[in-house]
Amino acid sequence: MTRRFNRELLLENMVGLAMAAAVVIAIILSAVWVSQRPTAVSDAPKAAKKQQTLKASSIDEEKLEKLYQQKRDAIAAQKAAEAKRVADEKARLAAEKKRLLELEQKKQQAIEDERKRLAQEKARLAEEKRQAEAAKKAKAEAAKKAKAEAAKKAKAEAAKKAKAEAAKKAKAEAAKKAKAEAAKKAKAEAAKKAKAEAAKRKEQERIKAELAASLANDISQREAAEAEAAEKARIAAEEAAKSKAIQQYSAAIKEKINSRWRSPAQLPANLTVVLGIRLASNGQVKGNPRVLHSSGYRVFDNSAIEAVKRASPLPLPDKAEWANEFTKEELKLNFP
């Protein structure tokens, strides 16, 4: 709207300026025309004419200035009117905007109030539904509980009745069983008594027979006992001789090995090594002796092994049974 007003005002100014320019041009042309008139005219009329021309120019300038002032006043009035119109339009638009804003705010407030009301109504209905469902559930639970209690009571009554009947039946069965047990026991006692008497008679007969046999076998038993005692004495003597021979040959084996042993010098005292050796039936050492428990010094252990090898064959008992004690398994020898 302001741009439109500016365009109209510019157009009016241009028209005014054009009119003023036309007036000025007319005045100038009049002056030129007067100045170019023939010189034959006398000076008096010429001066009078010039005076008239100047007077006319002064009058035209006053008119032109007055016309300018009127135009300026008209333009100013038009501007003031347009400014007032624009201000009034702005005020009207502001008032309309304020009215529309207030209307929109009221509309939004109404929408918000309605939303809150609907939310409250929804919450109220949901609460009523929840309470109704809770009441329904509680009623169902109560009915279920009552039904379960009734079933439990009926089951307890049935169990009580069954227990009483079972007790009655058990009592009758116990009486019947006791009676049968008594009869069985009496029968068993009678059978036991008869069996005992028969066994007693049989035992008496056996004792008589054993006494007779004992008298007949007494001599042979004494002879057998004497023979057994003699055999035990022989075995004991044999074992004693075997043990003594083993001890003697063990000492002889160790003595022979020690005689072949060259103990390394500059070693700690009290060193000990345990060797495992195997012997053939002729006393020869089979394979290389094994170190079962080292002394901690390889040179000491090796000197013991070399002593065993140098002492082979080792002495064994002449009796094969006794020699077998040295050859049947690995011998363990401590050195020194």
CATH (domain of 308): 3.30.1150.10
**Global confidence as pTM:** 0.34
**Phi, psi dihedral angles at 249 (to 5 degrees):** -70, -30
pLDDT band at 336 (very low <50, low <70, confident <90, very high): confident
Distance CA 298, CA 321 (A): 36
- Edge to edge, what strands does the sheet with 285-293 contain? 285-293, 273-279, 331-335
- Among 10-19, 103-112, 197-206, name the one with the lowest average pLDDT: 10-19
CA distances from 54 to 36, 48, 106 (A): 15, 10, 76
The phi and psi torsions of 37 (rounded to 5 degrees) equal -70, 160
- Per the structure block, which two tokens stand in for 117? 């009301």
Angle between helices 43-259 and 2-35 (to 10 degrees): 140
- Within a domain: 285: yes
Tokens of 265: 């010098």
Adjacent-strand bridge partners of 335: 273
Alpha-carbon gap, residue 185 to 35, rounded angstroms: 188
Predicted local distance difference test score (pLDDT) of residue 288: 93
Chain position carrying tokens 């004494």: 222
287 belongs to a structural domain: yes
Nearest to 336 by CA among 264, 245, 244: 264
Tokens describing residue 34: 């007067």
Does 236 reside within a domain?
Answer: no
Last residue of a domain, one of 81, 113, 145: 113
Residue 16 has pLDDT above 50, yes or no: yes
DSSP state of 283: S
Q: What is the pLDDT of residues 63-120, one digit of tens each?
A: 999 998 999 999 999 999 999 999 999 999 999 999 999 999 999 999 899 999 999 9
Q: Which domain holds residue 35?
A: 2-113
**For position 15, what pLDDT does the model report?**
55
Cα-to-chain-centroid distance, residue 156: 48
Query: Average pLDDT for residues 119-123, to the nearest whole number?
Result: 94
User: Could you tell me if residue 48 is inside a domain?
Assistant: yes
Confidence (pLDDT) at 57: 76
Q: Do the domain assignments include residue 151?
A: no
Please give the pLDDT value at position 158: 64
DSSP state of 291: E
Q: Which of these ranges, 26-40, 195-209, 246-260, has the smallest mean pLDDT?
A: 26-40
Distance CA 276, CA 274 (A): 7
In 3D space, the residue among 328, 177, 302, 182 whose CA is nearest the CA of residue 246 turns out to be: 328
Asked whether the beta carbons of 297 and 271 are under 8 A apart, the reply is: yes
pLDDT in tens, 261-300: 998 888 998 899 999 999 999 999 999 999 999 999 999 9
User: Residue 301 pLDDT > 60, yes or no?
Assistant: yes
- φ/ψ of residue 171, rounded to 5: -65, -45
Q: What is the mean pLDDT of the chain?
A: 85
Tell me if the bond preceding 313 is cis, omega within 30° of 0. yes
Question: Higher model confidence: residue 35 or residue 94?
Answer: 94
Q: Please check whether residue 16 lies inside any domain of the structure.
A: yes
Domain total for the chain?
Answer: 2
pLDDT of residue 39: 45
Contact 259, 314 (CB under 8 A): no
Within a domain: residue 97?
Answer: yes
In sequence order, what are the residues at sequence separation of 6 or more whose Cβ sits closer than 8 angstroms to the Cβ of residue 162? none
What letter represents residue 119's amino acid? A
d(C-alpha 120, C-alpha 115), whole Å:
8
Q: Quick check: is 190 in a domain? A: no
Domain stops at, among 113, 139, 170:
113
- Residue 24 confidence (pLDDT) above 80: no
pLDDT tops 60 at residue 34:
no
Tokens at 327, concatenated: 């050859």
Token representation of residue 222? 């004494």
Q: What are phi and psi of 291, to 5 degrees?
A: -85, 110
Query: Which of 113, 142, 167 marks a domain boundary?
Result: 113
Total residue length of the chain: 336
Per-residue confidence band for 40, with pLDDT thresholds at 50, 70 and 90: very low
